[in-house]
Amino acid sequence: MSQRSVLIIYTGGTIGMWADPRTGALRPMDLEHLEEQVPELERIGVKLGSVAFPEPIDSSDMRPADWVRVARIIGEHYDRYDGFVVLHGSDTMAYTASALSFLLEGLAKPVVLTGSQLPIGTIRTDARENLITAIEIAAAWENGRPVVPEVAVYFEYSLYRGNRTVKVHAERFEAFRSPNHPRLAEAGVHIRYDRHAILPLRPGPLKVHTAVDDHVGVLRLFPGIRPDWVRHALATPDLRAVVLTTFGSGNGPTEAAFLDTLREAVGRGVLLVNTTQCIGGRVEQGRYLTSRAFVDMGILSAHDMTVEAAVTKLMFLLGQGYGDGPLRERFLQPLCGEMSAG
């Protein structure tokens, strides 16, 4: 069997910074000499290539155009590599992973996003293990087929579906969680894959989508939220869709003035989507009186999608030019494992 190959794509973030052990100064890693900086990679037996953004981007500054840039890089190198590892800052990694899952239609190879809480070179860094294991997963093939043919996030011994992932801690190494879908793999002495949790290999060639519409907003509800403030936010020019993060299983205030502001937005053609603020669980719109009005006015339920998945899915679908009816229909369909069927 020929040696497997993995392309490392460096976008920015802590994992791509090298901490000089003498001075403590941080500088970008030299990806062309990555094996010198992380000598453990020599024993993996994987042929590595690398591409870096000319100017590394902190993940807080990542924009939809940068998601497209990563997708294009993968598309340009797709036939030459068996898998891909995207080095990315952790703060918005779940958004990028979700977006890539939609932009890379027909993906049949591993795309593993990873990062770290501490730079490589610091004594207690988590960067080395995250990088090494992410590469191993991206290069894992069995019987001529990739083990994980989807976009995933690897962090601190756990592999998650990218569009099911949320960042839950700013300091702990266990920074991510997948509340509504099982882990795809757990790394210990061996990497143990949950075959039932991994997407099946999808037929057809890769299609890289490059159209994304960012006229999407997020509105977090809170007790005492003022209807006039909501009306102002929903009146943003060119706004096309808004993700409402609601209470519990999709509930919100029943105050008439608040509901009227939502109806006004719906009447102007703004698509409203209901997600829960809770880390886990799903929206059950209409189950309680406090969400029945949402059903009546045509607000869509995101079911068990994360906010990150709902936002990026809307941007993707709007970018494809769907009208209101087809857009609603496609949003309610699982496209790449981002939501549970039914």
Which member of 14, 125, 133, 275 is catalytic? Answer: 14
Strand (E) or helix (H) holding 195: none
Active site residue 14: yes
Instruction: Give 161's strand partners.
Output: 152
| Token pair in block for residue 308 | 């990150």
Q: Which residue has the tokens 């994987």?
A: 46
The owner of tokens 């770290």 is 116
Give CA–CA dist 291/259, Å, rounded.
Answer: 10
Residue of 274, 251, 253 whose CA lies nearest to 332: 274
What is the SS3 string spanning 223-277?
CCCCHHHHHHHHCCCCCCEEEEEEECCCECCCCHHHHHHHHHHHHCCCEEEEEEC
Asked if 193 contacts 147 with a C-beta cutoff of 8 angstroms, the reply is: yes
The DSSP element (H or E) to which 138 belongs, if any, is helix 127-138
- Residue 115 CB partners (closer than 8 Å, separation 6+): 13, 14, 15, 59, 87, 88, 89, 90, 93, 130, 155
CA 102 → CA 15, 120, 170, 226, 336, distances in Å? 25, 31, 26, 35, 7
Query: Which amino acids are annotated catalytic?
Result: 14
